Amino acid sequence: MITKGQPYRDAGDVDLDTEDYTYAGQPLTEARAAEVGEAAIDRARRGRPSLTGGRVHSPQVAFRVPQPIKDRLAQAARDEHRTEAAIMRDALEAYLSAR
């Protein structure tokens, strides 16, 4: 059995219904392994939540800035416990609302 903190090792082909493995503290059977695998694939397919809402794609906007501005943005994000993207979205929204 592999527990948290141990390095990964390839166990090769195993029969989960006859061998003793656990996942998240629960016995891991072939059926449970299939469920866990399907759930992981489903999460990977979904990607990040939409900023627009629902299942609508959120477009990306990319632009370049001088290094001092990037440094100030990074510091602000750390100070405010926010992402740089969230700060940039708020700044763009404020600018466009003021027009």
Q: What is the pLDDT of residues 26-58, one digit of tens each?
A: 888 889 888 988 888 887 777 777 888 777 888
Do 68 and 35 fall within a single domain? no
Q: Are 29 and 16 in contact (CB under 8 A)?
A: yes
Asked if residue 30 and residue 13 are part of one domain, the reply reads: yes
Q: Residues 57, 48: contact at Cβ < 8 Å?
A: no
- Same domain for 56 and 26: no
For the record, the structure tokens of 60 come out as: 């990306």
Residues 2 and 39 in one domain: yes
Q: How many domains would you assign to the chain?
A: 2
Full residue range of the structural domain in which residue 68 is found:
52-99
For 68-90, the pLDDT digits (tens) are 999 999 999 999 999 999 999 99
Position 96 pLDDT exceeds 80: yes
Same-domain check for residues 17 and 60: no
Its pTM stands at 0.53
Q: Is the pLDDT of residue 1 over 70?
A: no
Q: What does the pLDDT read at residue 11?
A: 66
Residues 26 and 58 in one domain: no
CA distance between the termini of the chain = 62
